[in-house]
Amino acid sequence: MLGSYPDAAILVAPATVPAGFPSPAQDYYDGSIDLNKHLIQDSTSTFIVRVSGESMSGAGISDGDELIVDRSLTPVDGSVVVAILDGELTVKRLRITASGVVLQAENHDYPDITVPEMSDLSVWGTVTRCLHHV
C-alpha cells in the first residue's frame, strides 16, 4: 500500500524541462516533493495495479503500466475504471447509456463490452493516474 514509506520525498529541479530546444542544465534543486501527497487523495483506499494487455492503449495505458486506483471515488460516465464483470477483472472506460452500461475499450482491435442486464458487474475502483513506462 502507498504511504508506508517514511520520508518518500523526491528532489525537485527548480526549472521546467523544455521539450523543444535544449537549455543549459541547472545544477541545484528546489526542495522536494512527496509523490504520495501529490498523487493520492485517500491512501487508505488507493492501490496500484499493473496492466496486462493493450485494450486501453488509445487512452495512454499500455501493457505493463501501473495504474493508481482510488476505491473511494464514485465513478461517472467517462471514468476509467477497474471493473469486475462476472468474476473477471478488466480496465475499461465506463459508459452509462440510456440502454445500459458499456465497458469501452480504447483500442479498435478490442470490442466494447455491453454489460448484459443479468451480469454481475461491480466497479472495483476509479483510475486516477497511469504510471507509464517509456
Query: pTM, whole model, 2 decimals?
Result: 0.78
Residue 38 has pLDDT above 70, yes or no: yes
Q: Do 108 and 59 share a structural domain? A: yes
By C-alpha distance, which of 64, 96, 65, 99 is closest to 83?
96
Domain of residue 15 covers 1-39
Neighbours of 29 (CB within 10 A): 11
118 with 62, same domain? yes
Number of domains in the chain: 2
- List the catalytic residue out of 55, 62, 72, 79: 55
SS3 57: helix
Catalytic residue among 92, 99, 119, 122: 92
CATH assignment at residue 127: 2.10.109.10
Supply the pLDDT for residue 25.
55
37 tagged catalytic: no
Considering the domain architecture, whether residues 22 and 69 belong to the same structural domain is answered as: no
Biggest CA-to-CA distance, the chain? 61
Q: Which residue has the cell 501493457?
A: 63
Same structural domain for residues 47 and 103?
A: yes
Catalytic, 52? Answer: no
Q: For residue 112, what pLDDT band results from cuts at 50, 70 and 90? A: very high
Residues 108 and 79 in one domain: yes
